[in-house]
Structure 1
Amino acid sequence: MLLLRDGLKIHADLLGARDRQVVCLVHSLGADGGMWAEQVPVLLEAGYAVLRIDLRGHGGSGAPPGPYAMQALGEDLAFVLRQLGLGPVHYVGLSLGGMSGQALALDHPSLLRSVVICDALPESLPNAAEIWSPRIRAVRAAGSCAPIAQATIERWLTPQFQAANPARWAEILATIAATDAEGYAGCAEAISAFTHVARLPSLAMPALILCGADDHAVPPAEGERIARLVPDGRFHAIPGARHLPNVEQPAAFNRILMDWLARSG
C-alpha cells in the first residue's frame, strides 16, 4: 500500500489478519522490506500479522532531497502506524531501522508494545564523517548506489554465506545497487548526525537488543551500550553473523525473536 505524508509517498505492506498482534519490521540503509524474507513466514505461522515499512528513500517510498534527520524518519513510522490504526505493535528494526525505531519509541511510546533493536547505534560514531562522507559523495556523483553496493554487502554478510546462498546474496546486492541515490545519501546523513543517548534511560517499554557477533559496521559493544542505557533492556549477540543476523543466521534470530514476542505479548 501507499500512504501520503505531507507529499511524501510511504510504502508499507500488511500481511495477516488485522485483528492479530502486529509485528512491524523496518529495514537497514540500502535495503527494503525484502530483507525480512526469513522472518515473515515464521511470524505468520505463529499467528502474528506482519507490517513492513519502507523508510523514505528506500523500496517503494519516495526520496525527497536530503539531508534527512533521524527524528523525521521516526515521525514517518509513527504516521504509518497511526494511519493504519493497528493498535500498539511489536517493533523490530535493524541498523537504520533500529536507529529510527529508537526515535519512534522515545517520541511515540503509546504506538509500541515492545521494541527490538538490531545492529544499531545509540548515536553517531565519533568518526561518522570519515565513514559516511565518501559514500555519500560517491552515490550522489554517480546518481546510483551501484558504486558502493559490493563493499556494503561484504560488510553485511560473510563469504561463507555467499558461497552457501548465492541467490540470496545476489538479491540483496541488487537491492543495494538499486536503492535511490538521494534516499541513501539523505539517510546516511541522518546516521551521521544523531544521538538518543540522553533519552534512552526514559524508554518506556521492554527492549531487546540484538547484534551479529562479527558485525564490524556496528560492533556488538554498541548494542551492549543501548541495553545498559534503557531501563528494561536485554542484549544477545548472534554467533556466525555480521550486520544481517536475521539473514545469515535466521534460525537463531527467529528463535530469540519468537521467545521475546511470546514473553512481551
Structure 2
Amino acid sequence: MDTKSVNGVDLHYRLDGPKAGPVVMFANSLGTDLRVWDALLPHLPDGVRTLRYDKRGHGLSQQTPGPYSIEQLADDAAALVRELDLSEVVFVGLSIGGLIGQSLAARHGDLLRGLVISNSAAKIGDEAMWRDRVDAIRRDGLDSIGAATMERWFSPGFIASGAAAPWQRMLERQPLEGYAACCEAIGAADLRDSTAKLDLPVQLIAGELDGSIPPETVQGTADLIKDARIDVIPGAGHIPCVEKPAEYAAILTRFLTDIGHV
C-alpha cells in the first residue's frame, strides 16, 4: 500500500506501469475509491503509466475536518504529482474528479499535458441541493441514499444484473464526514469563468443515461472550452469506466494519441 503525505493529508495512491511511460492520472467520483478504474486499465495502450489516488476523505486516504474546497482538492492532486516527481500528466477526472481536474488545469497547468472531464461540469447543481444531501446523510447515514444513488450512477440493465451491488457497498462504506465535506466542495464550486479560459487539450465524456450529470450538462461545459471535444457513451450511466470500460478506453486512447501522449 502506497501513501504520501501532502498538504497535511495522507493520500493513498497506486502508480503502475513503466517508469519512463507517459503518465495518465485518474481522480475518482464522489463515493468511490481508486478501484473505480480497475476495469478500464487493461484496455489502455501498452506502456502507459497510470496514477490513481483516493482524494482526502475517501477510500484509504486520510479524512481531515471539512468542509473541503475544490481548490484544496486540486492542490492535493498537484502536490501528489510533484511529490512523485511526475510531469506532463494527462488528468482524467470523473464527476467531482472532473471539477478537481478543471481547477488543477487552471491553478497548476504547468503539470498537465491534457485534461479529460468525465461525467462532470464546471458547475454541478446548487448549494441548497448539496446542503440537503449532507443533512440527510448526517441524519440517516450513507446507506439511506445507497439505492437511489445507484439509479443515478448506472443503467437499469446494469442494476438489474446485480452488478451495482458492490458499488453500493463501496458508497455506503466511505467515511461519512469525508463524503459530506466533498459534497460541500461541489456545492460551493462554480468554475465556469476559469474553465472558459483553459488553454490545453480537453476531452469531455458523458454517459447517455447519466442520472447525475446528463449529457446536456456536460455539453454546456464543453461549449465553454475552445476546441474541446465531447463523446457520449451509449447505454452508460454516471460511471461509464465501470459500465463500459472498453468504450471509455477507446475515447481516452484516441485523445492520448491525438495529443501525442502515446
Unaligned runs of 5+ in 1: none
Q: Structure 2: which amino acid aligns with 1:24? A: M
Q: Could you list the per-position Cα deviations for residues 9-32 of structure 1 after superposition, in whole angstroms to 9, with x for gaps in the alignment?
A: 111110112210011111100001
Q: Does 1:201 align with 2:199?
A: no
Q: Which residue is equivalent to 2:37? A: 36
Cα deviation for residue 147 of structure 1 reads 1.8
Out of 134, 138, 141, the position equivalent to 2:139 is 141
**Other structure's SS at 1:229 match:** coil
The letter for the 2-side match of 1:30 is: G
1:261 corresponds, among 249, 256, 261, to 256
Give the corresponding residue for 2:242. Answer: 247
Deviation at 1:201, TM superposition (A): 2.4
Q: Secondary structure at the match of 2:4?
A: strand
Counterpart AA for 2:46: A
Q: Which runs of 5+ in 2 are unaligned?
A: none
* TM-score, length-scaled by structure 2: 0.94
Q: Contact (CA 8 Å) 1:122, 1:222: kept in 2 or not?
A: no
CA distance in 2, matches of 1:124, 1:134: 14
> Which residues in structure 2 correspond to 1:149-168 (within 5 Å)?
149-164=146-161, 166=162, 168=163
**2: CA distance, partners of 1:48 / 1:124:** 31
Q: Secondary structure at the match of 2:64?
A: coil
1:170 to 162, 165, 184: 165
Question: Could you tell me how far 1:7 is from its partner in structure 2?
Answer: 2.7
Amino acid at match of 1:97: G
Q: Shift in Å at residue 5 of structure 1?
A: 2.1
2:49 paired with 1:54? no
The question of 1:184 aligning with 2:179 is answered: yes
- 2: CA distance, partners of 1:18 / 1:139: 42
Tell me the SS of whatever aligns to 1:198.
helix
Q: Is the 8 A contact 1:66 1:183 kept in 2?
A: yes
Supply the distance in 1 between the matched residues of 2:96 and 2:71 (Cα, whole angstroms). 12
Q: 2:219 aligns with which of 198, 216, 224?
A: 224
For residues 167-189 of structure 1, the C-alpha deviation after alignment (integer angstroms, 9 at most, x for no partner) is x4222111101110000000000
* TM-aligned CA distance change 1:134 to 1:201, over 3 Å: closer
Match of 1:67 in 2: 67
**Amino acid corresponding to residue 108 of structure 1 in structure 2:** H
Aligned partner of 1:238 in structure 2 is 233
CA–CA distance in structure 2, aligned partners of residues 128 and 38 of structure 1:
33
- Distance apart, 1:216 and its partner CA: 2.3
Contact 1:2 1:10 in 2 (8 A): yes
Runs (4+) of structure 1 exceeding 6 A deviation are none
Give the match for residue 21 of structure 1. Answer: 22
Measured after TM superposition, the shift of residue 155 of structure 1 is 0.8
The answer to whether the aligner puts 1:4 opposite 2:5 as a matched pair is: yes
Deviation at 1:205, TM superposition (A): 0.8
Instruction: Identify if the C-alpha distance between structure 1 residues 136 and 246 changes in structure 2 by more than 3 Å, giving closer, same or farther.
Output: same
CA distance in 1, matches of 2:229, 2:182: 27
Assess if the C-alpha contact under 8 Å between 1:216 and 1:242 holds in 2: yes
RMSD between aligned residues: 1.4
Written as runs of structure 1 = structure 2, the 5 A alignment for 1:94-113 is 94-113=94-113
Taking only the aligned residue pairs, the percentage that are identical comes to: 37
* Counterpart residue identity of residue 154, structure 1: E
TM-score, normalization by structure 1: 0.93
For the residues of structure 2 that align with 1:236 and 1:120, how far apart are their CA atoms? 13
1:87 paired residue number: 87
Q: How many residues align structurally?
A: 259
Residues 7 and 76 of structure 2 are in contact (CA less than 8 Å); yes or no, is this contact kept in structure 1?
no
